Amino acid sequence: MRKSIASTVAGMLGAFAATALAGTVAIEPGVIETTAMPGGFENARKPISNPTLFDLALPGTNVHPIVLYHNLPSYVNTLVGPLAMGGHVEVYALQFEIAFTDRLSLVATKDGYVRFKPDQPSLWSKESGFANIAAGLKYAFIYDPENSFAMSGTATYEFPTGNHDVYQGEGYGALNLILSTVKMWDKLQVAGAGGVRLPFDGQQATNSFVSAHASYEVMPWFIPLVEVNWHHVLSAGNGRNNYFSQALGLTPVVATFEGNDLLNFGASNATRNRDLVTAAVGFRSRITDSIDVGFAYELPLTDKHDSVMDDRYTLDLVWKF
């Protein structure tokens, strides 16, 4: 099943790439259009894991389709004991960014369509719906092409526009405040980010995260990478019954953890298991100066039964213009 899903999404990304290539034109005869970043950032690359929060510190103009195949653990630990789960979640998203200057850009970091497919229909319902939408601004207050170093701040607002059936669309939204850095030494790149998610009501949890990335360009079509993500619950939600398509609306009441990067249950007992740490390995392939594709396999380093992640496959495409 996982092989067939991977083949399908790989084909989708191939179609994205073909479409992008078909739309690339030369400005003048004999002159190749370039979309490379100026100075020492020509080959800077986006992280892959934690995609709604962990972004490249450099402002730019790009579109970024993403496909996630997220396996759920066979059971999850709760206040009432282990509850059977299993199955998977599929996410199809399209991020974009528009640069106003080398330092400032508009970013859309969260959107898309979610398909929730658990293995226990008597307890968890198979549902589909739209995710919340998050957008805002990124500003590079340190931008040093000569030394290939940048540091930026991002502020986005997450609108509660999503579907309750897939754990979205609740509360009054949230503010994401993120600090990101990137440094390059020729073919080696390291990047990091950290931030907080501040809901505008007490219903949902307040979270923080720290992410790190390292990659090395062996050759343009093979740029291996490794990433680590740490999600932490700062304060729990109010735990009131909600998301009634799932577990009779009791998820916020009995869960002893949070959903972290994609979900926010508002679980009142999430402080029992505040931390989720994950590691991801993968690679990017630079198809042209303006297009690259990426793949990452991610798994939790903390107990997977104290989260909703067994493992995750992420495929993406970045088209810069």
Q: Which residue has the tokens 């093979």?
A: 222
Q: Tokens for 299?
A: 């798994």
110-124 per-position pLDDT tens digit: 999 999 999 998 899
In this prediction, residue 122 carries a pLDDT of 85
From the CB of residue 147, how many other CB atoms can be counted at a distance below 10 Å?
A: 12
244-281 per-position pLDDT tens digit: 999 989 999 999 999 988 889 999 999 999 999 999 99
Domain coverage including residue 242: 2-320
| Spatial contact of 279 and 227, defined as CB atoms under 8 Å apart | yes
3-state helix vs strand vs coil in the chain, percent to 5: 15, 50, 40
Encoded amino acid at 289, one letter: D
Residue 6 has pLDDT above 70, yes or no: no
CA distances (Å), 247 to each of 78, 208, 319, in order?
Answer: 12, 27, 40
232-252 per-position pLDDT tens digit: 999 999 998 999 999 989 999
% of the chain exceeding 70 in pLDDT? 88
Number of structural domains (the chain) is 1
Report the alpha-carbon distance of residue 115 to residue 89 in Å, rounded. Answer: 6
Q: What is the mean pLDDT of residues 191-196?
A: 98
Report the alpha-carbon distance of residue 228 to residue 210 in Å, rounded. Answer: 8
From the CB of residue 248, how many other CB atoms can be counted at a distance below 10 Å?
A: 11
22-40 per-position pLDDT tens digit: 333 333 333 333 344 555 7
Residue 9 has pLDDT above 80, yes or no: no
Residue 214 has pLDDT above 90, yes or no: yes
In this prediction, residue 205 carries a pLDDT of 95
Residue 89 has pLDDT above 70, yes or no: yes
Q: Tokens for 239?
A: 């735990």
In this prediction, residue 17 carries a pLDDT of 37
Write the CATH number for 90. 2.40.160.40
Q: What is the mean pLDDT of residues 274-302?
A: 97
Roughly how many angstroms between the first and final C-alpha of the chain, as a whole number? 36
Residue 66 has pLDDT above 90, yes or no: yes
The HSE-up count of residue 75 (CA atoms within 13 Å, CB side) is 7
In this prediction, residue 145 carries a pLDDT of 94
Report the alpha-carbon distance of residue 229 to residue 93 in Å, rounded. Answer: 20
Report the alpha-carbon distance of residue 93 to residue 113 in Å, rounded. Answer: 6
Report the alpha-carbon distance of residue 205 to residue 264 in Å, rounded. Answer: 7
In this prediction, residue 99 carries a pLDDT of 97
More confident residue, 225 or 13: 225
Average pLDDT of the chain? 89
In this prediction, residue 121 carries a pLDDT of 86
Task: Tell me how far the alpha carbon of residue 263 is from its chain's centroid.
Answer: 11
User: Of all helices (H) and strands (E), which one includes residue 279?
Assistant: strand 275-286
